[in-house]
Structure 1
Amino acid sequence: MKHLIFALILSLLISCQNTAQNSEAQNAVIHANPIEIPIKNGKARAYFASGCFWCVEAIYESIKGVDEVISGYSGGHTKNPTYETNNTGKTGHAESVEVIYDPEIVSFSTLVDVYFGSQNVTQVNGQGNDIGSQYRSIIFYQNDAQKEIILKKKAELSKKLNAKIAAEVYPFQKFWKAENYHQNYERLHPNNPYVRNVSIPRLNRFKAKFPELLKEKH
């Protein structure tokens, strides 16, 4: 009986998420013209979604040329998403990060390599045990040059692995900053059970793969 109830709940949850992802409003987001964020004070911005933003924030903050990483929400059709509403899977948004970087030190292309190299690229709608459309992988482009870089790398990786790459490719529209308590979460809460068992191991796996990209001290 318990298994039946669990299956029913899971089915309803997936149904809600699929409705959000397939709505007319969400399709408008997916097919919109990208919005380009201008370079300011020598710093550019890039946007990625790859599971829990606590994990992704920590990974990008370890990269040379990255000044700051902000956790938030992007890719959906609703305004002013919150952590609570986003967790319903009905907003269309995914937990995302804004990466503020110096393009003279690290290129957008390298940031895309970091993206694909720091996740399970074949997992759909989640990373590890973080499951749901709010944890899906999305990589955002702001212009045709970025889109070309993303699609080329995605195709090459698919061919190399002989597998379908789960990451969706979206035109960037807007980034909604998450609540203050989510910012720098891995650094400020190193003893949190999730951080210890998920965020830090994921960060360490990434560091072992890309030692040449890391800041001297992180």
Structure 2
Amino acid sequence: MSKIETATFGGGCFWCLEAVFRHIEGVKDVVSGYAGGNCPGIPTYREVCSGKTGHAEVIQVRFDTTRITFSDVLKLFMSNHNPTLDTYMKGDYGSQYRSIVLYHSKEQEEVSLNILQEMRMEHAKNIRTELAEFRGFFKAEDYHQDYFTKNKEAAYCRGIIAPKIEKLKQEFIQNIEH
């Protein structure tokens, strides 16, 4: 019997992360949006990009835990962005692009703490991924949803997102096994 769980991550532009996670077996749904901030009402893309809302561009991933674990989903997220950067990810600059894991349960918090600690020890790098309790999610505007599929010929999609998907196809199994 399948059990659906939700994970929320931010690490650079949500278009990239969404496109990668759509290719993962066991992932049921991926939605781009905003979370991790503290503004009243529903934030818009323009407001989030201003940096004044405190929100990050995030994806919300619904996955079947009988097919993929939260640990594997988190490892995939961590391998598809640079968690050592504060507010800059491949041409995107601002606090809305920060690396963040918003945990939905005590179990997700514990798994996240363990994986982040392992990464710090293993790579001897300053992992700057923020870990915070999930407090709400705001779906991004419709034109942001499934952006890569709808805009494959756009320069950003060809130059940034397509290589990430190719990397995923070549390396995902190795990342999960380690």
- Short-chain TM bin: over 0.9
Q: Whole-Å Cα distance in 1 between the matches of residues 85 and 171 of structure 2?
A: 19
Aligned to 2:168: 206
TM-score, length-scaled by structure 2:
0.92
Matching of residue 180 in structure 1 with residue 142 in structure 2: yes
- Secondary structure of 1:210's aligned partner: helix
What do you get for the CA RMSD once the two structures are aligned? 1.7
Count residues with an aligned counterpart.
Answer: 174
1:149-193 CA distance string (max 9 Å, x none):
101110110111111101100100101000001100001110011
Kept in 1: contact 2:34–2:58 (CA 8 A):
yes
Matching of residue 49 in structure 1 with residue 10 in structure 2: yes
TM-score, length-scaled by structure 1:
0.76
Kept in 1: contact 2:11–2:83 (CA 8 A):
no
Sequence identity of aligned pairs in percent? 36
Of 122, 133, 138 in structure 1, the residue corresponding to residue 100 of structure 2 is: 138
Kept in 1: contact 2:15–2:147 (CA 8 A):
yes
Q: Whole-Å Cα distance in 1 between the matches of residues 42 and 154 of structure 2?
A: 27
Q: Whole-Å Cα distance in 1 between the matches of residues 45 and 88 of structure 2?
A: 16
Which runs of 4 or more aligned residues in structure 1 lie more than 4 Å from their structure 2 counterparts after TM superposition? none
Aligned to 1:190: 152
1:107-143 CA distance string (max 9 Å, x none):
1111111111111121111311111101111001122
Aligned to 2:31: 70
Aligned to 1:103: 65
Query: Which structure has the bigger radius of gyration?
Result: 1
Kept in 2: contact 1:50–1:126 (CA 8 A):
no
Aligned-partner residue type, residue 67 of structure 1? K
Which runs of no fewer than 5 residues in structure 2 stay unpaired?
none
Kept in 1: contact 2:87–2:97 (CA 8 A):
yes
Matching of residue 171 in structure 1 with residue 133 in structure 2: yes
Aligned 1:58-97 pairs, distance under 5 A: 58-78=19-39, 79-97=41-59
Q: Whole-Å Cα distance in 1 between the matches of residues 164 and 118 of structure 2?
A: 23
- Secondary structure of 2:16's aligned partner: helix
Q: Whole-Å Cα distance in 2 between the matches of residues 92 and 174 of structure 1?
A: 13
Q: Whole-Å Cα distance in 1 between the matches of residues 43 and 132 of structure 2?
A: 18
Which runs of no fewer than 5 residues in structure 1 stay unpaired?
1-40, 214-218
Aligned to 1:122: 84
Aligned-partner residue type, residue 66 of structure 1? V
Aligned-partner residue type, residue 16 of structure 2? C
Aligned-partner residue type, residue 196 of structure 1? R
